[in-house]
Amino acid sequence: MSERIVELEGVVKRYAGGVQALKGVDLVIGRGELTAIVGPSGTGKSTLLHMIGTLDRPSEGTVRIAGHEVAGLTDRELSALRARHIGFVFQQFHLAVGVSALDNVADGILYSGAGLGERRERARAALERVGLGKRVTHRPHELSGGEQQRVAVARAVVGEPDLLLADEPTGNLDSAAGAEVLELLEGMHGTGTTIAIITHDMEVAGRAPRRVRMRDGAIMVEVR
């Protein structure tokens, strides 16, 4: 096993009213892997994403991200952990309206301590990486859905995180644009980026070398 980026051991998540969204999940994701976490709505995928992304804490069990145990960190330390180690791509693009692609991406490292010039330089390189080097001045309304998702991917990776979490990244795209985004993610994996795709779409999941299928808050099947 390569260096572990994600380690979950016996992770349980309970919500008010006795709802148990995760039931003792064990999961390891090593550096450089491309993993699809798949299952229909209500199976615990989103809760698992929140655990891996340190957006929520487990009720029981252990979550380690890039060697850091989440339970022992303050909220401020968790924010710093996410900023250094995790990039997020969501179904909704979450781009700032009226702001160029370049500055949308540069804002992804707003709290890195880098000056505006350096942030824009790094943002330009990230946009070139996703094939939008000639669209850096365009604003979201001037871009197609697929291009907007590419901007979102560039923003997620501009800080060079250890892990890219993609939550239903093709959910708002037509089939052609969705295929382009998946090819982009596969290409980034090919250059060493660790990626976890959360999806309900078996066709999307089928493109990943490793597939983890969830049901009723537990991992039921794993295929490599």
Report d(CA 143, CA 149) in Å as an integer: 10
> What is the full per-residue pLDDT of the chain (224 aa) written as tens digits?
359 999 999 999 999 888 999 999 999 999 999 999 999 989 999 999 999 999 999 999 999 999 999 999 999 999 999 989 999 999 999 999 999 999 999 999 988 888 999 999 999 999 999 999 999 999 999 999 999 999 999 999 999 999 999 999 999 999 999 999 999 999 999 999 999 999 999 999 999 999 999 999 999 988 88
pTM: 0.93
Question: What's the pLDDT at 223?
Answer: 86
Domain 4-223 carries which CATH code?
3.40.50.300
Residue 194 makes CB contacts below 8 A (sequence gap 6+) with 5, 29, 30, 31, 32, 33, 34, 162, 163, 164
Question: What's the pLDDT at 2?
Answer: 52
| CA 135, chain centre distance (Å) | 23
Residue 173 makes CB contacts below 8 A (sequence gap 6+) with 145, 146, 149, 181
* Cβ contact 105:158 at 8 Å: yes
Residue 224 structure tokens = 């490599």
Question: What's the pLDDT at 113?
Answer: 83
Domain ranges within the chain, ordered by starting residue: 4-223
